[in-house]
Structure 1
Amino acid sequence: MRDVESLCDEAGLGRTSKSTVATICAELGERFEAFCRRSLYDVNLVVLFLDAIYLPVRPSGPKEGVICAWGITENGHRELVSVRLGMREAKEDWLELGRDLTSRGLAAPRLVVADGAPGLVSAIEEIWPRADRQHCAVHRLRNLLAKLPKSEHDRIRFNYWSALTDATSVKDAKLHLQLLI
Structure 2
Amino acid sequence: MSKPTFDIDAALQALRDGQDLTGKDGILTPLIKQLTEAAMQAELDNHLAKEATPNRKNGTTGKTMKGPVGSFELKTPRDRSGTFEPQLIKKHQTHLTDELERKILALFALGNSYQDIRAHIAELYDIELSNGTINAVTDKLLPELQAWRERDLEVIYPIVWLDAIHYKIKENGRYVSKAIYTILALNIEGKKELLGLYLSDQEGAHHWLSVLTDLYNRGVKDILIACVDGLKGFPEAIESIYPKTEIQHCVIHQIRNSLKYVASKNQKAFMADLKPVYKAATLNAAEIALDELEAKWGEKYPMVIKSWRGKWPTLSAYFKYPDYVRTAIYTTNAVEAVHRQFRKLTKTKGGFASENALLKLFYAGILKASERWTHPVQNWNLTLSQMAIHFPERLDEYISL
Q: TM-score, normalised by structure 2?
A: 0.39
Relative to 1, partners in 2 of residues 1:16 and 1:144: Cα closer, same or farther, differing over 3 Å? same
Supply the distance in 2 between the matched residues of 1:7 and 1:94 (Cα, whole angstroms). Answer: 36
Aligned to 2:186: 72
Q: Does 1:29 align with 2:142?
A: yes
On the 8 A contact 2:222/2:245 being kept in 1, the answer is: yes
Q: CA deviation at 1:121?
A: 2.6
Q: Secondary structure at the match of 1:109?
A: strand
Supply the AA of the counterpart residue of 2:162.
L
Supply the distance in 2 between the matched residues of 1:118 and 1:72 (Cα, whole angstroms). Answer: 25
Instruction: From the two aligned structures, give the one with the greater strand fraction.
Output: 1
Q: Which is worse superposed, 67-76 or 153-162?
A: 153-162
Please list the CA deviations of residues 125-179 of structure 1 after superposition, one character each: whole Å capped at 9, or x if unmatched: 21111111121112211222122111222343455456534x3333334444444
Relative to 1, partners in 2 of residues 1:36 and 1:180: Cα closer, same or farther, differing over 3 Å? same
Aligned counterpart in structure 2 of residue 121 of structure 1, from 202, 223, 235? 235
Aligned counterpart in structure 1 of residue 121 of structure 2, from 6, 10, 13? 13
Aligned counterpart in structure 2 of residue 95 of structure 1, from 191, 205, 209? 209
User: How do 1:1-181 and structure 2 match up within 5 A?
Assistant: 5-6=114-115, 8-9=117-118, 12-14=120-122, 15-41=128-154, 44-57=156-169, 61-157=175-271, 160-161=274-275, 163-165=277-279, 167-181=280-294
On the 8 A contact 2:118/2:130 being kept in 1, the answer is: no
- Gaps (5+ residues) in structure 2? 1-111, 123-127, 295-401
Q: Secondary structure at the match of 1:32?
A: helix
Supply the AA of the counterpart residue of 1:150.
S
- Gaps (5+ residues) in structure 1? none
Supply the distance in 2 between the matched residues of 1:62 and 1:13 (Cα, whole angstroms). Answer: 33
Aligned to 2:302: none
Relative to 1, partners in 2 of residues 1:174 and 1:130: Cα closer, same or farther, differing over 3 Å? same
Aligned length: 175
Q: CA RMSD in A?
A: 2.8
Q: TM-score, normalised by structure 1?
A: 0.79
Supply the distance in 1 between the matched residues of 2:271 and 2:143 (Cα, whole angstroms). Answer: 42
Q: CA deviation at 1:61?
A: 3.5
On the 8 A contact 2:153/2:220 being kept in 1, the answer is: yes
Q: CA deviation at 1:124?
A: 0.9
Q: CA deviation at 1:91?
A: 3.1
Supply the distance in 2 between the matched residues of 1:31 and 1:104 (Cα, whole angstroms). Answer: 17
Q: Secondary structure at the match of 1:88?
A: coil
Relative to 1, partners in 2 of residues 1:56 and 1:144: Cα closer, same or farther, differing over 3 Å? same
On the 8 A contact 2:229/2:254 being kept in 1, the answer is: yes
**Identity over aligned pairs, percent:** 23
